[in-house]
Amino acid sequence: MEPLTWTGALGTFLNPIFTVTLLSLALAVVGYLVLNFIENAQLAFGGPTSPPQQMQNSAVLLTTILPLVVLTLLLTAIYLLAGIVLPYGAAGIVGELGVRMLPVWIALAATFYLSITYKRRLGLYGKLFDSPIGMIGFMIVMFWVFTAIFVEMNLILTHDPLAQVSGMKNKLPGTPLRGAEDGDYAHYLLGGDNLARDVFSRVVKGSQVVLIIAPAATLFAFMVGITLGLPAGYFGGKLDTVISFMANLVLAFPVILLFFLLVTPEIRAAGIQIPGTDYIWRVPTILASILFLFPLVFFVVLFDSRYFTEPAKRNLYVGLTVLIGGYIYLGMAWDADPFGIISIDGGVLIVFVSVVFVNSPTVFRIVRGLVLDIKTRDYVAAGQTRGEGPWYIMLWEILPNARGPLIVDFCLRIGYTTILLGTLGFFGLGLSSESPDWGTTINSGRRLLSVFPHPAIVPAIALMSLVLGLNLLADGLREESLKD
Amino acid sequence: MGMFILRRVGVMLLTALCLTFIVFFMTNLYPNLEKLAKTQGNFRMSDEAVVSYLTREGYTAPLSVKYGRWLGVVPNHVYTDEDGKTTGKCIREGVNTAETAPKYCGVLQLEWGYSTVFKGDAGEIIFKRLGLTGWLALGAFAVMIPVALIIGVLAGMREGSRMDRTLSTFSIASSATPEYVSGVIFIAVFASSSFGLKWFKGSATSAMEDFTWANITLPIATIALYGVGYVARMTRASMAEVMTAQYIRTARLKGVSFGNIVIKHALRNALIAPFTVIMLQFPYLLTGVVITETLFNYKGFGWMLVQAASNNDIDLLLGGSVVAVVVVLLTQLISDIGYVFLNPRIRIS
């Protein structure tokens, strides 16, 4: 089997065109920025003497950028999709990657087609498609979401992400699999890492770890922050002072130090022995049992304050919350699910808990600030005059009106949590060293970085792109939500 | 003003006490002590040997007593073995004896304890490493702040213009690149043989003695890049807000040129908020420093913290966290006081 080159046979005639296009695009963009800057400066500092038509220099250059962008995108699409029609290997590594990712492209195209068609009926989500920045961000995020989903359906992986193949250690991208049999995928598309595992499969598999833990941890942090921030902002006084002091305490704690102290095997072994029993209440369980209680409390109060005038409905909703939530709570925090379905591995639990712990004070501060602002509004005063309870006002009148900034912050915070998870992986804390998540993979790849950079660069770029996508998405959402 | 500072200092001390107690509690959990005993003795130590080591070193006392000792408000632990030889924290052979050694021996007496990893006085080690990190952080700030402020001001002075969009996208991208990503990419591109650009060195170990262009550029760029985006976005928001103010419109209608408006009228008010943000960047800088120093093998404060934490070097870890917490709290204090001074509306009222 021949080693694959990056662009294969396709590259021989496409590469020169692509290089020329890309170069001229780069020149045009840089030229535009410089010209625009100079013209802006002349306009700003040159006084009234400089004629305004000088702006046209950069405007002329601007007209060439759009066709060049379209051409570049078109060529990129050809590179990525040519592998579908060409025989195996002819389109090179890029082409074969495109073929492996085919389900993702189809799902992305379908999502965008449907969303843009019906965008006027989709509220804030639909408005996202008016903002180019938000659309790009959404596309990157959905790319990774679909990747994670299709990996679970076994459509993308080329090899087992944990399997080591002898002779493939630190091999460059496109190296043929040694001793490949029928049915094996013939190449390591993005090379092998220092334990001879397939880099491509590990990266796409790692997206699952990140995309499950990061949003879930952020959601829990929001539950904790909202449940504490609402009363602190609304009631104020001593309650506010105490909670704020505790939040500031956590915020003053250097994150990295907290991780090093909290996410260690020793801490997982430490705990309090419950008197009279053999049960040891371990530190992760202690923290989890406190932090995971907040969502439960949140939903119970949410339904109770809304339906307390209709006892039948209230009992139904609160009962269901306690039943379902309690079941999940038992499984997640105490590892005591009576049916044995829900359980979290100890290493993942402590990572999850510490990430929630680090994030919730910031959310608390944001919610508190929003409540302090919103509670001076007239509709809150009207609610108070109607005799509505404080929790009803907080949860059903203040919270929905604070949703805009909270949604934006939620997106940003998922990105930040992804970075935190990567940091944990980078220091080899928490998750097992075999885990394909991006931080751990970067950590194992960095030792040989100056000789074999590909095992560390691929997950690094993956992580960066996901965070970038989330940040762009948040930016687009903020812009669109401000337009109302 | 005096009352305000006094109250803030009080809260700060309380916070520092709480935080060091938490660190103390976590490092003194039994499995951590067991690990410490085994790394100091040997890994096949029996449980009895571990207990006798911990008793000798005074780790079996109640937590509050141990914390008091570390602070220096409870008489220090001394242990006399069967041969009648007395050991204790401040008893050093050749310097003093059990009789002449100070009774209280804690942080309040400026005794930071003994580092079990580096085999030396924890205080000395911390300040030596802190000095090294200080240079790195100084370099990073010297790059980060001017770049961030220029980007923020340029983007914010005409909100919604193409320059704003381009620069904002750049700052979003930079705040999406954590140190371990940018560091890895920088090393791979500029220091590895595979790309062929061997402009810089992938290790900054030699920078501890002597800064050169080749060995310090990548670490500084790595730390600065992640911070630039955030500070630039804050500056942009603040600048954009100021540019919509009434007095700016008045200046425009008077016929002041745009450059003068930006530099003489808007800039001073627009830089108040970024000042706070820059000050509050220090805590995040610590994480960046730890990652960068580990990645580039620059043996400063961050690297020291990693070594201390992975070996449960209690005294060094506590000393390091005191320094970290004090830095964080001090910058918060400075940012609060600075905000009051810079903002005439608060200063005068």
- Interface pTM (ipTM) of the complex? 0.88
- Which of A257, A446, A453 shows the shortest C-beta gap to B324? A257
3-state secondary structure (DSSP) of residue B276: helix
Tell me if chain A has a CB within 8 Å of the CB of B263. no
Tell me what the mean pLDDT of segment B158-167 comes to: 83
Is pLDDT of A254 > 80? yes
Return the top range by mean pLDDT from A6-15, A62-71, A408-417, B256-265.
A408-417
CA dist., res. A14 & res. A8, Å (int): 10
Percent of the residues in chain A that have a pLDDT greater than 70, as a whole number? 96
Is pLDDT of B2 > 70? yes
Question: Structure tokens of A475?
Answer: 């930016």
- pLDDT band with cut points at 50, 70 and 90 for residue A478: confident
CA dist., res. A472 & res. A142, Å (int): 13
Both A93 and A214 in one domain: the answer is: no
Beta strands B78-80; A280-282: pairing state: unpaired
Check residues A276 and A384 and name the one with the higher pLDDT. Answer: A384
Tell me what the mean pLDDT of segment A360-378 comes to: 92
The alpha-helical segments, DSSP class H, found in A86-195 are 92-100, 102-117, 123-127, 132-152
Check residues A135 and A448 and name the one with the higher pLDDT. Answer: A135
Of A302, A476, A296, give the one whose Cα is nearest residue A398: A302
Tell me what the mean pLDDT of segment A242-257 comes to: 88
Percent of the residues in chain A that have a pLDDT greater than 90, as a whole number? 38
Distance from CA of A252 to the nearest CA of B (A): 6
Tell me if chain A has a CB within 8 Å of the CB of B287. yes
Q: Is residue A135 part of a domain?
A: no
pLDDT of residue B181: 92
Q: Cα angle vertex B285, ends B284, B290, to 5°? A: 105
pLDDT of residue A49: 52
Report yes or no: A400 and A170 within 8 Å, Cβ to Cβ: no
Chain A to chain B Cβ contacts (< 8 Å): 161
Is pLDDT of A341 > 80? no
pLDDT of residue B279: 81
Cross-chain Cβ contact A464/B162 below 8 Å: no
Is pLDDT of A430 > 90? no
Chain A window 260-289: which residues touch B at a Cβ cutoff of 8 Å?
Answer: 260-262, 264, 266-267, 269-270, 283
Report yes or no: A62 and A22 within 8 Å, Cβ to Cβ: no
- Which of A252, A267, A467 shows the shortest C-beta gap to B15? A252
Report which secondary-structure segment, H or E, holds B258: helix B258-260
pLDDT of residue B64: 87
Cross-chain Cβ contact A261/B188 below 8 Å: no
Residue that finishes a domain, picked among A100, A121, A141: A100
- Which of B26, B287, B295 shows the shortest C-beta gap to A256? B287
Q: Is residue A70 part of a domain?
A: yes
- Closest residue in B to A426 (Cα) is B180
CA dist., res. B292 & res. B147, Å (int): 20
Residue A231: give its domain's CATH number.
1.10.3720
pLDDT of residue B182: 92
Is pLDDT of A404 > 90? no
pLDDT of residue B210: 76
pLDDT of residue B73: 83
Report the 10 Å Cβ neighbour count for A332. 21
> What are the two backbone dihedrals, phi and then psi, of residue B193, each rounded to the nearest 5 degrees?
-80, -20
Tell me if chain A has a CB within 8 Å of the CB of B168. yes
B103 CB contacts (<8 Å, ≥6 apart)? Answer: B75, B76
- pLDDT band with cut points at 50, 70 and 90 for residue A363: very high
Both A207 and A350 in one domain: the answer is: yes
Percent of the residues in chain B that have a pLDDT greater than 70, as a whole number? 94
Question: Structure tokens of A447?
Answer: 């030792």
Cross-chain Cβ contact A249/B173 below 8 Å: no
pLDDT digits (tens, 9 = 90+) for A132-188: 889 999 999 999 999 999 998 888 888 888 888 887 788 888 888 877 777 777 788
Domain count, chain A: 2
- Closest residue in A to B20 (Cα) is A253
pLDDT of residue A53: 52
Of A465, A16, A226, give the one whose Cα is nearest residue B185: A465
- pLDDT band with cut points at 50, 70 and 90 for residue B93: low
Both A271 and A405 in one domain: the answer is: yes
Both A68 and A214 in one domain: the answer is: no
Chain B window 179-208: which residues touch A at a Cβ cutoff of 8 Å?
Answer: 180-181, 184-185, 187-188, 191-195, 202
Report yes or no: B134 and B286 within 8 Å, Cβ to Cβ: no
- pLDDT band with cut points at 50, 70 and 90 for residue A362: very high
- pLDDT band with cut points at 50, 70 and 90 for residue B288: confident
Of B48, B42, B12, give the one whose Cα is nearest residue B331: B12
Distance from CA of A273 to the nearest CA of B (A): 12
Both A207 and A65 in one domain: the answer is: no
End-to-end CA distance of chain A: 59
Q: Is residue A436 part of a domain?
A: yes
Question: Structure tokens of A19?
Answer: 């290089």
CA dist., res. B3 & res. A101, Å (int): 63
- pLDDT band with cut points at 50, 70 and 90 for residue A302: very high
Check residues A47 and B312 and name the one with the higher pLDDT. Answer: B312
Of A263, A211, A94, A102, give the one whose Cα is nearest residue A463: A211
Is pLDDT of A51 > 70? no
**Look-up: residue for tokens 């942080």?**
B107
3-state secondary structure (DSSP) of residue A393: helix
Chain A window 94-133: which residues touch B at a Cβ cutoff of 8 Å?
Answer: 133
Of A426, A418, A415, A393, give the one whose Cα is nearest residue A471: A415
pLDDT digits (tens, 9 = 90+) for B129-158: 998 898 888 899 899 999 999 999 989 888
Q: Is residue A413 part of a domain?
A: yes
Residues of A in contact with B30 (CB under 8 A): 270
- Which of A40, A261, A453 shows the shortest C-beta gap to B163? A40
pTM: 0.90
Tell me what the mean pLDDT of segment A367-371 comes to: 93
pLDDT digits (tens, 9 = 90+) for B218-251: 999 999 999 898 889 889 989 998 998 999 999 9
Residues of A in contact with B192 (CB under 8 A): 449-451, 453
Of B170, B279, B167, B181, give the one whose Cα is nearest residue B222: B181
Both A89 and A226 in one domain: the answer is: no
Both A226 and A372 in one domain: the answer is: yes
pLDDT of residue A52: 53
CA dist., res. B278 & res. B272, Å (int): 10
Tell me what the mean pLDDT of segment A285-307 comes to: 91
Amino acid at A409: D
Full residue range of the structural domain in which residue A258 is found: 200-481
- Side-chain-side CA neighbours of residue A89 (13 Å): 11
Report yes or no: B138 and B301 within 8 Å, Cβ to Cβ: no
Is pLDDT of A106 > 80? yes
A481 burial class (0-12, 13-18, 19+ CB within 10 angstroms)?
Answer: middle
Cross-chain Cβ contact A261/B27 below 8 Å: yes
- Report the phi/psi class of residue B84: left, alpha or beta, with left for phi > 0 and alpha for psi in -120 to 50: left
Is pLDDT of A470 > 80? yes
pLDDT of residue A44: 67
Lowest mean pLDDT among A88-92, A241-245, A293-297: A88-92
Q: Maximum distance among all alpha carbons in chain B?
A: 91
Q: Is residue A180 part of a domain?
A: no
End-to-end CA distance of chain B: 11
Amino acid at B249: R
Cross-chain Cβ contact B325/A460 below 8 Å: no
Q: Is residue A323 part of a domain?
A: yes
Residue that finishes a domain, picked among A42, A66, A100: A100
Tell me if chain B has a CB within 8 Å of the CB of A256. yes
Tell me what the mean pLDDT of segment A278-296 comes to: 87
| Mean pLDDT value across chain A | 86
Report the 10 Å Cβ neighbour count for A21. 18
pLDDT of residue B349: 60
**Look-up: residue for tokens 């007095």?**
B247
Q: Cα angle vertex A188, ends A184, A193, to 5°? A: 125
Residue that finishes a domain, picked among A52, A76, A100: A100
Distance from CA of A372 to the nearest CA of B (A): 20
B219 CB contacts (<8 Å, ≥6 apart)? Answer: B136, B140, B183, B204, B207, B292, B293, B296, B298
CA dist., res. A139 & res. A281, Å (int): 44
Lowest mean pLDDT among A32-36, A208-212, B242-246, B254-258: A32-36
- pLDDT band with cut points at 50, 70 and 90 for residue B314: confident
Report yes or no: B285 and B227 within 8 Å, Cβ to Cβ: yes
pLDDT digits (tens, 9 = 90+) for B23-79: 888 888 888 888 888 877 777 778 888 888 888 878 888 888 888 888 888 887 777
**Look-up: residue for tokens 């046979």?**
A9
Report yes or no: B168 and B236 within 8 Å, Cβ to Cβ: yes
The alpha-helical segments, DSSP class H, found in B158-193 are 162-175, 179-186
Cross-chain Cβ contact A260/B305 below 8 Å: yes
Tell me if chain A has a CB within 8 Å of the CB of B290. yes
- Which of B15, B184, B294 shows the shortest C-beta gap to A248? B15
Q: Is residue A400 part of a domain?
A: yes
Q: Is residue A118 part of a domain?
A: no
Both A82 and A219 in one domain: the answer is: no
